[in-house]
């Protein structure tokens, strides 16, 4: 796994770019900007569903969600650049694994939101609103988890080992 990630990084030129003096800080900046965009759109949408800022229509706030997707894609691309450039620092790192888990739950939660709560693009019943609120709480919790675990990755880099006792 590590070897194939590294060879992908080498073949695509990512490794060479990341090893320039500006590579890591530039990509880290893009990564955090993507996360901020996600929090400023999807995070605010979640908070609105949970009852904050009730003057704002849920539908108009939902129009910001595509910008959250842009943020997510920025994070995905920059995240792949990090992991493929130094896979040994990430693949066995519990903070990174937790971050990926939070992202996975957030992804499943989003699919469920669009299937169960928002299939017609509206929250037309009390039951759907309740489901949407639960989904919003899960989504917000997951994205906060992604931020915290992302920040903790640096504390659990090798040689830190969680099964060495």
Partner 1 sequence: MDLKLVLLAIEEGFLATWVRESDWGFAIALSLHALGMAFAVGISFTIAIRILGIVREIPYITLLSWIALFRLAVLLALFSGMLLLVCYPAKALTNPVFYLKLSLIILGLLQLRYWRSRVLLHGSSASFSGLLGVGLLFCWTGSIAAGRLLAYTYAVLSALQLQDIPLAGDPFFTKSLLFLARGD
Stretch that binds partner 1, among 50-58, 83-91, 113-121, 126-134 (CB under 8 A): 50-58
> Distance (Å, rounded) from C-alpha 117 to C-alpha 111?
10
Q: Min. distance of Cβ 4 from partner 1 in angstroms?
A: 28
Residue 20: CB minimum distance to partner 1, A: 12
Residue 16 binds to partner 1 (criterion: CB under 8 A) = no
| Secondary structure (DSSP) of 78-123 | HHHHHHHHSHHHHTT-HHHHHHHHHHHHHHHHHHHIIIIISTTSS-
Per CB under 8 A, 28 contacts partner 1: yes
Instruction: Please list every residue from 74 through 93 that binds partner 1, using CB under 8 A.
Output: none
**What is the distance between the alpha carbons of residues 81 and 73, in angstroms, rounded to a whole number?**
12
Report the alpha-carbon distance of residue 56 to residue 58 in Å, rounded: 6
The angle formed by the CA atoms of residues 57, 129 and 98, to the nearest 5 degrees, is 95
Q: Whose Cβ is closer to partner 1: residue 36's or residue 109's?
A: 36
Number of residues in contact with partner 1 under rule CB under 8 A: 35
d(CA 36, CA 4) in angstroms, rounded, equals 31
Determine if 58 is a binding residue for partner 1 (CB under 8 A).
no
Binds partner 1 by CB under 8 A, chosen from 4, 7, 19, 29: 29
List residues near partner 1 by CB under 8 A: 24-25, 28-29, 32-33, 35-41, 43-44, 47, 52-57, 59-61, 63-64, 67, 144, 147-148, 150-152, 155
């Amino acid at each position: 796994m590590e070897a194939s990630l590294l060879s992908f990084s080498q073949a695509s030129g990512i490794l060479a770019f990341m090893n320039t003096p500006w590579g890591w800080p530039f990509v880290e900046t893009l990564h955090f900007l993507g996360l901020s965009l996600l929090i400023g759109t999807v995070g605010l949408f979640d908070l609105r569903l949970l009852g904050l800022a009730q003057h704002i229509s849920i539908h108009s706030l939902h129009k910001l969600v595509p910008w959250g997707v842009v943020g997510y894609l920025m994070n995905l691309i920059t995240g792949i650049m990090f992991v493929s450039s130094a896979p040994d620092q990430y693949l066995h790192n519990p903070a990174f694994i937790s971050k990926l888990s939070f992202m996975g739950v957030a992804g499943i939660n989003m699919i469920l939101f669009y299937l169960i709560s928002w299939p017609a693009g509206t929250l037309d019943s009390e039951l759907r609103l309740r489901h949407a609120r639960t989904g919003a709480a899960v989504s917000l919790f997951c994205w906060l988890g992604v931020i915290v675990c992302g920040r903790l990755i640096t504390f659990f880099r090798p040689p830190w080992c969680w099964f060495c006792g």
